[in-house]
Structures are given as C-alpha cells and as structure tokens.
Structure 1
Amino acid sequence: MTSATGVGAARRWLVLAVVLLCFLPAAVDVTILTIAVPTLAEALDASTTELLWVVDVYSLLMIGLVLVTGPLGDRIGHRRLLLIGLGVFGVASAFSSLAGTPLALVAGRALLAVGAAMIIPATLAVIRQTFSDPREHAVAIGGWSAVAAGASALGPVAGGFLLHHFWWGSTFLVNLPVVAVAVPAVLLVLRNNPEPEPRPWEALSPVLAVIGSVGTAYAVIALTHDGVGVAEVVVPGAAGVLAIVVFLRRQRVLEHPLLDLSLFRLPPLRAGVVISVLPVLVMVGFELQLVQYLQLALGLSPAEAAWRLLPMPVAAVLAGPIGGWLLPRLGARLAVPGGLALAAAGYALVASDVVFAGGLVLVGFGHGLVQMIASDLVMTTAPEQQAGAAAGIESVSYETGAAVGIAVLGTVTAVFYREGAGGSASLLDARSSAAAAEALTGAFRGITWVAAALVLSTIAVVARWSAGGAVR
C-alpha cells in the first residue's frame, strides 16, 4: 500500500480515526477504577484483596489473552476481530455496571478484558497494514500512543468526574455510547484482510498462555497481603511458571506457533518491548498511589482529585503526535532517553512537592513520548504479514507493565506505609487519623522517588542498547 495523496490518503486517516475511537474505551478502562477504590470499598463492602482483583484482573487477563487474539486477527481478519471485541466489551460494560457484589464485579471486569484483548491488538495491526510510509506510520502510531498514554492518565480523571455526578456504575456505562458509534464506523470504513492461507490453529498454546500469565501474576499479587499462606503464593506461581516454560518450548517446535519467537531475534523489537514494559509499569503503579494519596491523605473528593490529575493526561495526549513528528528527525536513540529524563524530573518535582502540577506535566509528556516510540519500534520491525503477532507482543508488553506496576508499587507503598504508621493499619485509616495520613504522605513520596530511580535505570539500559545498534 503506497502513500498516495487524494482519496487514498484521506481514507487512511479516516481509518486511523475509527481505530482510535475503538481503542479509547479499552485504554481508559485500565485505570478508570483507580479513583473509585474508596467508593467501591464502601458501596460493595469489598475487602482489600477483592478491591485489588477488581482493579487488576483487567490487565492481568489481557497479558495472556492478547497472545491469542493477535495471531487470531491475522487468521480471521482484524476488522472481524475488532467487531467481536466491541460487542463483548459493550455487553461486559453493561453487566459490570449492575454488579451487586465484589465477585460479580471481578467477573464483569474479566469479561471486559476478553473484549479489550481483541480490540487492542486489532487496532495496532490495522495501523500497521494501513500505513506503509515510515513517516506516516510514525504519525499514526503517535496518535495511537497518545490515546494509550493519555487514556491511562485520563482514566482516574474521567472516573472522578463521573463519581461526582453519578454512582460508581457510570464508570462502565460511559463505554456504551462509544461502542454504539464505533461498531457502524468499523463496518463502513474498515476492510477485512485475513491471511490468504490461514495457519492451522491449536488449542493448547492459548490455554498455556492464559494459565502462565494468570498464575504468575496471582502469586505476585498474593505477596502484597498480610496473612497469606505459602501455598497461596507457591502453588499458582509454580503452575504459572511451568505453563510459561511449556508454552515457550511448544512455540519453538510447532510448525505454526501461536507466538513466533523468531521475532525476538530482531534487536529493535526487543528494545521496543522493554522500553514499553518498564515505563508503563512505573506510570500506572505511580498513578494508583497518587490517587490514593490525594483522596485519603489530602482528603480530596474524587472530582477534586481528578482536577489535580488533569495535567498528566493532557501532556500525555500531546506527547503522541509530537513524538510522531520528532521520531523521524531525532531517532529513538535520542528521543527515548529525552522522554525518560523528562519523566524522571517530573517524579522528582512531585516527590519534593515543589511544582506538583508541573511535575505531572513532565511525567505525562515523558511517558507519552516513550510509549509512542516503543510501539513504533515493535510494529515497524515485524513484517507486515505478522502485524497481528507483533500487535499481540506490543499489547502484552503494555498490559504486563500495567498489572505488575499496580502489584509491585502497591506492595512497596504498603511497606513504606506500615513502617510509617507503626503497624499494619489500613490505608483507609488515613481519612480519619492524622498520623495515618502523615504515614501515607511519606509512603507516597517514597514510592515517587522509587519511580524516578526506575525511570533513570531504564535510560542506562537504552544507552547500552544504543551502543549495540538496537536503538537508532
């Protein structure tokens, strides 16, 4: 497909607009519930463990599912996969809004993950197949990354405004108008281009992928709670690791693997995966702690907290298209360390409480820029006929970062908080106790310095790979 002007060019940008519309609700749902955690705890009488599952099951399930749905899109066509995903996502949104118990809400969020796992890789694959010119592709990926980074940061903001005016179920019902517009737009604008000769499909690899991701991530999440037995960590963790090992061995010997591991022999793709995972891990984990700090330690309402968060998603949205313009001119070798340095400086400003809003601007812009470049590296390195497989890799990188970030940085915050509070007090105590609020403030500042350190360490990794030619 060439980069001709006129009707062809206009249609390409229309395709991009439709793709971004489809992607928006799936991206927002990664973080939209983070600001609703205190509200859900009261409304559903949910325990800390149940709340963590409500928030984290969405990203957790997608880690395994996108490995399945990406190649499936190559087989049946990404337009068809996108339509199925939108339908599942709409039904799951309605179901979740009516959930009356924590378990029902976890089930609804799990079904949302199934729909999103079809939507996200399909949108990336359609972009890869539509834009062959490197400059146009960089701009298109810049738009996708603007939605990815901006929506993750926008989720708590949107959730805060919805909670201010409506009940918590509105955070799910807001998806339905978007789905209602997106489905006919996909039918009218997108074309279905499945593989001319579909590869055989085998059932064991998808099962292993899901068991592996869920089992290992469950073990990580279980470690975040007091009173958890050894078996509750070891059994699912061991099952998950075993499933991952068997999955990887099968992919090496199958004639038509679900995940083509040969793609990881490409240095730019490997670099793109790591550049995607680490910053997303930091930003999403930091954002959950930021929301809790604003509401529990500072006593802000969800709407007031949303206003304080707003600079971050605005900056992240702007970073995508700006990065799409900068990348062909500067190259990833300069742009990635620059974006990471901005994010690290932002975390330092927030931790020091010097220029809070300015720090959030730097965090949002820096992460948005890096996410755009990571997506471009993954999608342009893989051959076009493997666009779905590459999209699955990019999607699982993002979701892995989000799920692990929530679990790991949440654990570190809990450790800091318990030390400051002198015991195992609940974070909700910060609303009614000055000492607990002070402990939570200290924990938040500590985790923000940790975030800055992790981002700086990523710069060192990128510098090493740049020297080896993986990042140019």
Structure 2
Amino acid sequence: MTSTLPVVGARRWLVLVVVLVCFLPAAMDVTILTITIPTLAHELHATAPEVLWTVDVYSLLMVGLVLVSGPLGDRVGHQRLLLAGLAVFSVASALCAMAPGPPALIGARAFLAVGASMIIPATLALIRQTFGDGRDHAVAIGAWSAVAAGSSALGPVVGGFLLQHFWWGSIFLVNLPIVALALPAVALLLHNRIESERQPWEATSPLLSIVGFLGCAYAIIAFTHEGVGVLEVAVPAVLGLTALALFVRRQQRAPHPMLDLSLFRLPGLRAGVVASVLPVLVMVGFELQLVQYLQFVKGLSAEGAALYLIPMPVAATVAGPVGGTVLSRVGRTRLDVPAGLLFAATGYVLVSSGTVVPLGLALIGFGQGLVQMVASNLIMSTAPSAQAGAAAGIESVSYEAGAGLGIAVFGTATAVAYRSFLPPGTSTSPLDAGSSAATAQAFTEAFHTTTWLAAALTLATVFLATPKPTAVPASPGEPE
C-alpha cells in the first residue's frame, strides 16, 4: 500500500489551493439557486413545491451519497475519487443549464449531487492526508471552512449578478471553467494514496439514508401547500422516519458500518457535528427567506439583492482563516464555538429588528464562518487517520443535512407564518408575495418571525455544541 505520510514543504500549500478550487463550485451550488426563485417560477412555470425541490434535492441526496463516496475514497484513493467527481459535476452542470422544465432540472440537480458527493469528502480527506494532525492542519481546515461558509453565503450573490446579465442557465455553466482548471491541476499535483486500512461499503445504508431524508423533507414541504391530504404528508413522513431508524440500527449492528456511529463516542466529534448541522440549517434557511423578501417585497432585482447580501460572504470568508490561525497558535478553547454562535445570533436579532442590517449580515457571516471552521477541525482531527474518509463523510453528511433540512424547515415555517398573517381570501402561495400591500405586509411579518426563530435556534446551539468540562479528580493529599 502507498504511504499516507503528510506532504512536507511549500508543496502542501499548493495542494491546498487546488483542493479549495475543486471544493468551491460544489459548495456554492448549495445556495446559488435561492436567488433564482422568481426567475424559475416565471420562465419555467414552476410551482412553489417544484421550486423548493429544485433547490433542496441537491443537499438531501448528498446526505446519503457521501456515505458511499467517503469510504470509497479510502479504497480507491481520494485523488481518483476527486477526478471522477469533477467529471460528473461538469456534465451535470451542463444538463442543468439545458433543462427544458422543472422535472428535468430537478433530475439534473440530482445528478449534480452525485458529482458533489465525490468532491466534498475527497477534499477533506486530501487535506487530512496532506497536513496530518499538526498545527498547519488547523490553518488548512480554516481555509476549507472559509470556502464552505463563504460559498454558502456567496452563492446567491454570484447567482444574482449572473441573472442580471445572462439567462438563468448561466448559474450552472459558471462551474465549467472552474472544473476545466481543476482537472489538470488535480491530475498533475495530487498523488493517489490508498489507505492501508480500508472499510467495505454497500448500497443498502446510503439508500436508507436517502429515502429517510427525502421522505421527511417531502412531508415537511407538502405540509404547507393547499390541496394536500393527510395521507400525502403522513405516508412520506412514516416512510422517512422508518428508513432513518433502520439506517441507524444497521450502522449499529454492521461489522463495517458506512457511517461509523462509534466515532460519536468521541466528545469532540459529537460537538463538531452539532456545531456543523444546526448553524448551517439556520443560515441556509434564513438566506432563502431573505432573498425572497428582498425580491418579492422590496422589489429588488437579482443584482440588487446580490449586492445587499455581500457582507455575509465577505465576513464568512475572513472568519475561517482568522479562526484557523488563532487555533493553530493558541489551541482550541471552550469559547470558540459559543463566540461564533453569539456573533451570528446578534446578527439575526439586528436583521429581524431592522436595525443596522448590513452589520447584522456581517455578524451572521463571521459567526457562521468561525463555527464552521471549528466544527470541521473537530470532526477531522478527532477521528483516527485511517478513518479520514469516514470522518469526511460525517462532516459532509452534517453540512448537507443541515442545508437540506434548513431549506425545508424554514421554507415551511415561513409559509405557515405567511398564511397566518394574510387576510381571508388572499392567495397563500409565497410566490405571490408582494403582488399587493396585504401580501407584502404578510410576508414581511413572516420573514421577521422566522428570523427571530433563527436567532433562538442559534442561541440554543450554544448549549448543545459546547462540550461539558471533564472533571479532574483531585490528587491524593489535596483538599477536595
């Protein structure tokens, strides 16, 4: 087997740049569609559920797919997996751009998720293989986290500028030149190293995961739409919850699980997962509602909404490297995650109250970037080196589960609140918000309500994602 010793010298930083370039389009595509909702509804005649599924299917499918691709990378090599992922991602991007209608676009987005599910865990595992567990690993993870958090916030900004000057398919074609640069760089600069300890993989576990998350998300999304019967909500919900329960049971009993739940016995990894899932859930869900509010109610163009959002990606991109540098010098403290969450919670409060909104957006971005950096470092540095692929799978599952559920949960919460604020006899579709003074006021109230919900969930995460201090027994002879 090939050695897995870390790369030394300046070359490791060049490897990092290549890995981050590969990661950028896959991360940005989680949120780039959020700003296109009015355009998709108009040009493709998409209904509200079709729009939500077009945005959400990408993240929800990746939750199950990374369970295959993470361990697969340990078996065939993460460089080879990354090359395959980039190839699939480029073909899927072209198919998305050429989609003639909502069903075709949803299917192409699902294919896009296949490519991204290879790219994301491969980038994390390659960073672990390249930097080992030393001080530079924290800096590298900080850079990866900056791209993760920054890309999520940057997606709508890039989408807005492209929509203003080109047709909607350009938001997918922008991936092609990035992939064209990344493919030869990966082939020439990265070596394919296979782990000496490889875990077998199978199809049942990821299938259960995909069915579970899709079923639950379908039930959440369908719950708010008119004409939906009880069975249309209950059956997918029961199917989804049953599949998730069977998935967990299978992982607990399998000799070689796809998602190694034993890793969750590590307090640092548990804290990292919580700090990854919930803040991403909140930020992605909030961002989806914010761009709808700006376009439907405030009447901003796609480019105008993009300019409005800029403080978020700028602050998120700065937070990752800053946090990584501090972490590499002083080590991790129990205050890093709470500090980032408090920054974000303060930002949500400022946005909801309408006070200094640009500062609020910057605080949300900076807090999310800081938390994402710490969470990624905890997950990847806590797991054994031979399970880098499995740890990368857990990190990817955490991020994508948060993003996918955030779109479903916050989309549903906003729809429920919007209906409650509407006068009787008014159209209840959020796509009609802004068509009259009454609908604009109702959506404004709904947006403020869900933003307060975002602040509350972020504050709750402070208690859930902060590891409890371990009691140190007193030495013999010392007073207790």
Which TM class, normalised by the smaller chain length?
A: over 0.9
Per the TM alignment, residue 415 of structure 1 is displaced from its structure 2 partner at its CA by 1.7
In structure 2, the residue matched to 1:281 is: 281
In structure 1, the residue matched to 2:25 is: 25
Per the TM alignment, residue 394 of structure 1 is displaced from its structure 2 partner at its CA by 0.5
Letter in 2 for 1:372: M
Aligned 8 A contact 1:224 1:407 in 2: no
Per the TM alignment, residue 197 of structure 1 is displaced from its structure 2 partner at its CA by 5.5
**For 1:420 and 1:197, how far apart are their aligned partners in 2?**
57
In structure 2, the residue matched to 1:119 is: 119
In structure 2, the residue matched to 1:428 is: 431
**For 1:39 and 1:298, how far apart are their aligned partners in 2?**
16
In structure 1, the residue matched to 2:455 is: 452
Q: Secondary structure at the match of 1:30?
A: coil
Moved more, 14-23 or 428-437: 428-437
TM-score (norm 1): 0.95
Report the CA distance shift for 1:130/1:60 in structure 2 as closer, same or farther (over 3 A): same
In structure 1, the residue matched to 2:446 is: 443
In structure 1, the residue matched to 2:164 is: 164
Unaligned runs of 5+ in 2: 472-480
In structure 1, the residue matched to 2:478 is: none
Verify: 1:467 aligned to 2:436, yes or no.
no
Letter in 2 for 1:426: S
In structure 1, the residue matched to 2:189 is: 189
Per the TM alignment, residue 345 of structure 1 is displaced from its structure 2 partner at its CA by 0.8
In structure 1, the residue matched to 2:476 is: none
Report the CA distance shift for 1:337/1:234 in structure 2 as closer, same or farther (over 3 A): same
**For 1:138 and 1:300, how far apart are their aligned partners in 2?**
40
In structure 2, the residue matched to 1:408 is: 409
Per the TM alignment, residue 204 of structure 1 is displaced from its structure 2 partner at its CA by 2.5
Per the TM alignment, residue 241 of structure 1 is displaced from its structure 2 partner at its CA by 2.3
Identity %: 65
Verify: 1:215 aligned to 2:246, yes or no.
no
How many residue pairs get matched?
Answer: 465
Aligned 8 A contact 1:209 1:247 in 2: yes
Letter in 1 for 2:468: S
Verify: 1:357 aligned to 2:358, yes or no.
yes
Report the CA distance shift for 1:122/1:2 in structure 2 as closer, same or farther (over 3 A): closer
Verify: 1:74 aligned to 2:77, yes or no.
no
**For 1:206 and 1:356, how far apart are their aligned partners in 2?**
41
Per-residue displacement from partner, 1:129-166 (whole Å, max 9, x unpaired)?
A: 11124321110000000000000000000000000000
Q: Secondary structure at the match of 1:333?
A: coil
Per the TM alignment, residue 240 of structure 1 is displaced from its structure 2 partner at its CA by 2.3
Per the TM alignment, residue 356 of structure 1 is displaced from its structure 2 partner at its CA by 0.9
Moved more, 253-262 or 46-55: 253-262
Verify: 1:263 aligned to 2:263, yes or no.
yes
In structure 2, the residue matched to 1:96 is: 96
Moved more, 177-186 or 220-229: 220-229
Moved more, 420-429 or 298-307: 420-429
Aligned 8 A contact 1:85 1:118 in 2: yes
- 1:232-311 to structure 2, matched below 5 A, reads 232-311=232-311
Moved more, 302-311 or 403-412: 403-412
**For 1:202 and 1:106, how far apart are their aligned partners in 2?**
26
Aligned 8 A contact 1:58 1:110 in 2: yes
Q: Secondary structure at the match of 1:270?
A: helix
Report the CA distance shift for 1:401/1:91 in structure 2 as closer, same or farther (over 3 A): same
Q: Secondary structure at the match of 1:9?
A: coil
Aligned 8 A contact 1:2 1:133 in 2: no
Aligned 8 A contact 1:379 1:390 in 2: yes
Per-residue displacement from partner, 1:363-417 (whole Å, max 9, x unpaired)?
A: 0000110011000000000001100100010001011111111111111111221
In structure 2, the residue matched to 1:340 is: 341
Report the CA distance shift for 1:275/1:162 in structure 2 as closer, same or farther (over 3 A): same
Letter in 2 for 1:444: F
> Cα RMSD (Å) of the superposition?
1.6
Per the TM alignment, residue 198 of structure 1 is displaced from its structure 2 partner at its CA by 4.0
**For 2:331 and 2:263, how far apart are their aligned partners in 1?**
25
**For 1:199 and 1:428, how far apart are their aligned partners in 2?**
47
Per-residue displacement from partner, 1:200-234 (whole Å, max 9, x unpaired)?
A: 44332232232223223322222232322222222
Moved more, 150-159 or 190-199: 190-199
**For 2:262 and 2:133, how far apart are their aligned partners in 1?**
24
**For 1:218 and 1:363, how far apart are their aligned partners in 2?**
28
Aligned 8 A contact 1:312 1:363 in 2: yes
**For 1:450 and 1:9, how far apart are their aligned partners in 2?**
47
Q: Secondary structure at the match of 1:172?
A: helix
Per-residue displacement from partner, 1:425-447 (whole Å, max 9, x unpaired)?
A: 22233332112111111111111
Per-residue displacement from partner, 1:321-361 (whole Å, max 9, x unpaired)?
A: 00101224262411111111111111111111110111100
Moved more, 14-23 or 438-447: 438-447
**For 2:251 and 2:445, how far apart are their aligned partners in 1?**
46
- 1:307-318 to structure 2, matched below 5 A, reads 307-318=307-318
Q: Secondary structure at the match of 2:414?
A: helix
Unaligned runs of 5+ in 1: none
Per the TM alignment, residue 449 of structure 1 is displaced from its structure 2 partner at its CA by 1.1
Aligned 8 A contact 1:71 1:259 in 2: no
Report the CA distance shift for 1:2/1:113 in structure 2 as closer, same or farther (over 3 A): closer
Aligned 8 A contact 1:89 1:112 in 2: yes
In structure 1, the residue matched to 2:141 is: 141
Aligned 8 A contact 1:64 1:214 in 2: no
Letter in 1 for 2:455: A
